[in-house]
Amino acid sequence: MAVTAWSFAYLLNSSTGLPIKWPRPAYPLRIMLGSNSGGTIDYNAAAQAAAQEWNAILGGTQFQVTIATGTATDRNRVNEMVFATSIFEDAFDTNTIAVTTTWRLGNQRTEGDILFNSNTGRNWGVYSGPTQPGLLDLRRVALHELGHALGLNHPDEAGQSFPAPLPIMNSRVTSNDTLTADDITGAQNLYGPPGIPANDNFANAIAITLTNNAATVTGYNTTATKQAGEPNHDGNIGGRSIWWRWTAPASGPVSMDTRGSYSDTTLGVYTGSSIGALTTVASNDDIDPGVVQASTLTFNAIAGTTYFFAIDGFNNNDGNGADTSGVTLNIAFTPTAAAVPVITTQPVSATVTAGGSVSFSVTATGAVSYQWFFNSNSIGGATNSILSLSNMQAANAGAYFVTVTNATGSVNSDTVTLTVNPAPAPPPPPPTSSRGGGGGAPSLWFWGALSLLGIARFLRRR
């Protein structure tokens, strides 16, 4: 099956509507293509290069290639790439040049063999650039089939159209021989980009700002971790969580869900100041258990309270860990009272040299008054949106934040750090002159002495 709602085409589990994807970081692949009869074309190397092109843009899984010899076996839990005259005794369709099989358990792929049609009339080569009549480029076809192994389908057959260069995952070979933005984004929705998510840890939760009392945020938990002391969201062990935070500008009900995520999620809402001291507000696993595997929940927000939202992947203890993919968090808020201030621009940490000046500023809606703090102590007279400081010394280094208040309540800004570096040492004094040494220009007294000596000699001669 293919889907168009996400703007990319995927192989889907018809029961859950979620993509079928490889569940582990390493994707073992035995390449058994060999070389052509003359030994001039190394098909194994070409296919391995295609696997490396996918590896370069993925974070959550990597093709782990082994070069081998032999034939492929169906349903042996081994991913194999070979030339074949049939699809495990089923004939290739007339126009089919390669096939990727799919075996799965739930949303998880368990095996995928890639078979290149070696029947008469299929002439395989390796080249770049425009297609050559009568010669198939194995590397670009391997790139396409490896996309199927990851879980991608044909976007053109899902009703999508694109300007040139056409996606590698389109159903027909074209002159394009490399991954396009559509191919890359589609695969990263399933496996994420390289690198650890910025909001992997609770302390790095990303702030959410609502527009018209709603927001949709996205991220990846594909390379995320679970911290020591982190709660099990909705009681599931999970293992790949990412975090957001939101401060309620007013009291009122909040509804949340993870519709649009590409894997089975769990969702939790918490209050607290550290990962080991959280109070659960609400949590959920599935909208419809085992069927609609997005999560949903509601809770009543209290004005001025900061809430932390965690999305993790469901873990069914099968040895593959928590489900991972690109995830989506949708939030809708209905305020029932006047709003506390909302900080739209936070202050930023700064570094100055001793004796220098610095300013911190904040922008907030609904603000009436401001009070700045240094190391948790209020600063006298610092009651504007901008805090200007001069003649900074080491004693002024530390943590600064501002409390913004109106008639409904107050909210604190992010805490920022001021670093004060020592002033540079004064330059050394210029060297003094002495009798010894040489070089340099003669001084004025020296020239004067020579002149007097010349006059004296002149007088003596007379």
Q: What per-residue confidence (pLDDT) applies to 408?
A: 84
Which is nearest to 210 in space by CA: 244, 175, 160, 161? Answer: 244
* CATH assignment of 202-333, among 2.60.120.380, 3.40.50.1360, 3.20.20.70, 1.10.10.60: 2.60.120.380
| CB within 8 Å of 64: residues ≥ 6 apart | 26, 27, 28, 29
| 330 has a pLDDT exceeding 80 | yes
- For residues 33 and 91, give the distance between their C-alpha atoms in angstroms, rounded to a whole number: 19
Q: 342-421 falls under which CATH superfamily?
A: Immunoglobulins (2.60.40.10)
**In the prediction, which pLDDT does 433 show?**
56
CA dihedral sign, ordered 373, 378, 384, 390: negative
pLDDT at 454 (0 to 100) = 46
Q: What is the reported pLDDT for 445?
A: 41
Average the pLDDT over 220-246 and give the result: 98
pLDDT at 392 over 60: yes
Band of the pLDDT at 453, cuts 50, 70, 90? very low
Alpha helices by DSSP H, listed for 116-177, are 138-150
Q: Is the dihedral of CA 284, 290, 293, 298 positive or negative?
A: negative
Mean pLDDT of the chain: 91
Look at residue 456 in the predicted model and tell me its pLDDT: 41
Half-sphere exposure of 35 (CA within 13 A, CB side): 7
Instruction: Give residue limits of the domains in the chain.
Output: 26-191, 202-333, 342-421
Tokens standing for residue 173: 């070979």
Rounded CA gap, 206 and 277, in Å?
19
Does residue 350 carry a pLDDT above 80? Answer: yes
Residue 337, pLDDT score: 80
* Residue 450 confidence (pLDDT) above 70: no
Q: How many helices (H) and strands (E) in the chain?
A: 4, 28
CATH architecture of 26-191: 3-Layer(aba) Sandwich (3.40)
Arithmetic mean of pLDDT, 340-368: 93
Q: Which of 213-227, 299-313, 366-380, 443-457 has the lowest mean pLDDT?
A: 443-457
